[in-house]
């Protein structure tokens, strides 16, 4: 019969020497296995012993079990500690090795810019209004105070389907639709959408483009409000250091009319190559809504007044992302689209 304490000592020594958890597992089975473990075997023939001897042996065996279990768990945590301490060497990988390419699709840069514009103007309380691209002559011209034979019609050389039907030259017709629908101001809307003009494609313009126009109709609106709105919009899109310049111009649907420029982001207005030494980059047109246009939309100009402004989404994107050829937006070359 083996002496329990000798067996314990032997087991503890073996456990102390074990180098892997597999080894420990094997030792656990060898010594503590429920039926064939060597500690259990100490009890073989116990029924032949006297009650006193029996009690003593039982106690010794239990002590042996506990001691071995203790040694096992001690050695286990030691091995685990060692393993963790060595991770830097044992599991090191080359972290400079690249991951596999991510098949990420890209939202079109014009969608992104349109999204930014909508977000900025929605924060001022403007809401998006949409309208048809194939418009009637009345909504595209007449209602906007651009009467037949008006010299300004030259500015909007249009594509026609019939003398009465054309592709809208601007999103301004949506302003009239909106006034007719909403009827009672206040009206604060923006009108993003595609427009068409009969201009041959070149680096700075295309026969198709996208515009956003804003319209506010309320009581007591001023040119100062228009100017502040433009400044808020430009600074929100391009940064608070940007300035806005408003120059007198002419549009039949606004009086007074203006064009607005943003200070060059490269030279800050001092003049450089990219702004052609002007210090300013043209953005769009704006003005106080002509009383006749309000009347055409069914709104009484004696009670209400308004301001409106418009610009090209492509132009905004070109200024924001340094795109020098407007045709790139519509060419669908993934090498371009994936840059944004």
Partner 1 sequence: MRISYEWLGDFLDLDGVTPKDAADVLTRLGVEVESLTMVDLSNIVIGKVLEQKPHPKSRTPLWIHQVDIGVRVEQIIAGAPNAVPGTLVPVALPGTTVPNGKVVKDMNIAGFKASGMLCSADELMLGEDHSGILLLDRGKPGDPLTSIIPSQAIMEAEITSNRPDCMGHLGVARELAAGLGRPMKRDFMPSFTGTADPPGRELVKVSVDDPDLCSRYIGGVIKGVRVGRSPDWMQRRLRACGVRPINNIVDITNYVLFEYAQPLHAFDLARLNGPAIHVRRAREKEKLLSLDGVVRDLTPDMLVIADALRPVAIAGVIGGEETAVTTATTDILLESANFNGASVRQTSRALGLRTEASSRFERALPPELALAGARRAASLIAELAGGTVHREWADVYPRPQQPVRVILRPALIDDVLGTHVPLEEAESILKRLNFHVKVMGDGEWDVLPPVFRLDVTIPEDLVEEVGRVHGYDRVPPTLPGRRHERWTPATPSLDRRLDAIREVLAGAGYSETWSPALVSGRQLEALRIAAHAMRVSNPLSDDMDTLRTSLLPSLMDAMALNRDRGRLDIRIYEIAEAYLARVGDHNGGQPEEPLRLAALASAGATADEGRDALYRLKSVLDGCVAAMSAPSCMYDRASAELFHPGRCAAVMLDGRQLGYIGELHPTVSAGAGIDGRVVAFEVDVEPMVAESRIPRAQPLPRFPRVQRDLAVIVDETVAAGVLHTAIKEVAGDLLEHVRAFDEYRGAQVSEGHKSVAFTLTFRSPERTLTDAEVDKVMAEIKLGLEKRHRARFRE
Q: Which does 275 bind (CB under 5 to 8 A by kind): Zn ion, partner 1, none?
A: Zn ion
Q: Which does 266 bind (CB under 5 to 8 A by kind): Zn ion, partner 1, none?
A: Zn ion
Nearer to Zn ion, 155 or 267 (CB): 267
Least distance to partner 1 from the beta carbon of 150, Å? 8
Token pair for residue 68?
């071995």
Q: Which does 336 bind (CB under 5 to 8 A by kind): partner 1, Zn ion, none?
A: none
Q: Which helix (H) or strand (E) holds 201?
A: none
β-strands 187-196, 208-218: how paired?
A: antiparallel
Nearer to Zn ion, 56 or 266 (CB): 266
Q: Which residue is nearest to Zn ion (CB)?
A: 264
Least distance to partner 1 from the beta carbon of 167, Å? 7
Q: Which does 84 bind (CB under 5 to 8 A by kind): partner 1, Zn ion, none?
A: none
Token pair for residue 199?
């201009």
How far is Cα 171 from Cα 185, in angstroms, rounded to an integer? 20
Residues 6+ apart with CB under 8 A from 89: none
Nearer to partner 1, 9 or 203 (CB): 203
Least distance to partner 1 from the beta carbon of 123, Å? 10
Least distance to partner 1 from the beta carbon of 179, Å? 14
Nearer to Zn ion, 120 or 272 (CB): 272
Q: Which does 110 bind (CB under 5 to 8 A by kind): Zn ion, partner 1, none?
A: partner 1
Least distance to Zn ion from the beta carbon of 271, Å? 6
For residue 243, which phi and psi values (nearest 5 degrees)? -115, 160
For residues 169 and 195, is the Cβ–Cβ distance under 8 A? yes
Ramachandran quadrant class, 107 (left: phi over 0; alpha: psi -120 to 50; beta: rest): beta
Cis peptide before 186 (omega within 30 of 0): yes
β-strands 280-289, 305-312: how paired?
A: antiparallel
Nearer to partner 1, 17 or 138 (CB): 138
Burial class (CB in 10 A: 0-12, 13-18, 19+), 2: exposed
Nearer to partner 1, 23 or 282 (CB): 282
Q: Which does 128 bind (CB under 5 to 8 A by kind): Zn ion, partner 1, none?
A: partner 1
Least distance to partner 1 from the beta carbon of 311, Å? 17
Nearer to Zn ion, 28 or 259 (CB): 259
Q: Which does 97 bind (CB under 5 to 8 A by kind): partner 1, Zn ion, none?
A: none
Least distance to Zn ion from the beta carbon of 239, Å? 15
Q: Which residues bind Zn ion (CB under 5 A)?
A: 264, 266-267, 272, 275
Burial class (CB in 10 A: 0-12, 13-18, 19+), 66: exposed
Alpha helices (runs of H) in 86-205, residue ranges in sequence order? 87-90, 109-122, 137-140, 172-182
């Amino acid at each position: 019969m083996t002496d329990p304490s000798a067996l314990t000592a032997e087991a503890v020594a073996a456990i102390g020497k074990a180098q892997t958890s597999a080894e420990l597992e094997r030792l656990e089975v060898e010594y503590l296995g429920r039926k064939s473990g060597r500690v259990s075997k100490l009890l073989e023939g116990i029924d032949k012993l006297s009650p006193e001897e029996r009690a003593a042996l039982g106690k010794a065996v239990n002590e042996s079990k506990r001691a071995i279990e203790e040694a096992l768990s001690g050695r286990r945590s030691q091995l685990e500690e060692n393993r963790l301490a060595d991770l830097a060497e044992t599991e090191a990988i080359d972290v400079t090795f690249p991951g596999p390419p991510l098949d990420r699709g890209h939202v079109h840069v014009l969608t992104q810019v349109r999204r930014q514009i909508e977000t900025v103007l929605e924060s001022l309380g403007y809401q998006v209004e949409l309208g048809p691209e194939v418009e009637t002559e009345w909504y595209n011209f007449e209602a906007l105070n651009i009467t037949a034979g008006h010299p300004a019609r030259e500015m909007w050389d249009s594509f026609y389907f019939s003398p009465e039907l054309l592709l809208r030259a601007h999103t301004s017709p949506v302003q009239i639709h909106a006034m007719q629908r909403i009827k009672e101001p206040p009206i604060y809307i923006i009108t993003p959408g595609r427009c068409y003009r009969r201009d041959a494609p070149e680096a700075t313009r295309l026969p198709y483009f996208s515009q956003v126009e804003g319209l506010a109709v309320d009581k007591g609106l001023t040119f100062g409000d228009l100017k502040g709105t433009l400044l808020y919009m430009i600074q929100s899109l391009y940064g608070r250091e940007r300035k806005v310049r408003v120059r007198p111009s002419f549009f039949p649907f606004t009086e007074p009319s203006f064009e607005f420029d943003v200070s060059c982001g490269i030279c800050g207005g001092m003049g450089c190559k990219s702004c052609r030494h002007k210090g300013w980059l043209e953005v769009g047109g704006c003005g106080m809504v002509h009383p006749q246009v309000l009347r055409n939309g069914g709104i009484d100009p004696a009670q209400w007044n308004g301001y409106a402004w418009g610009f090209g989404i492509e132009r905004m994107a070109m200024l924001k992302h340094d795109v020098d050829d407007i045709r790139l937006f519509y060419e669908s070359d993934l090498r371009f689209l994936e840059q944004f």
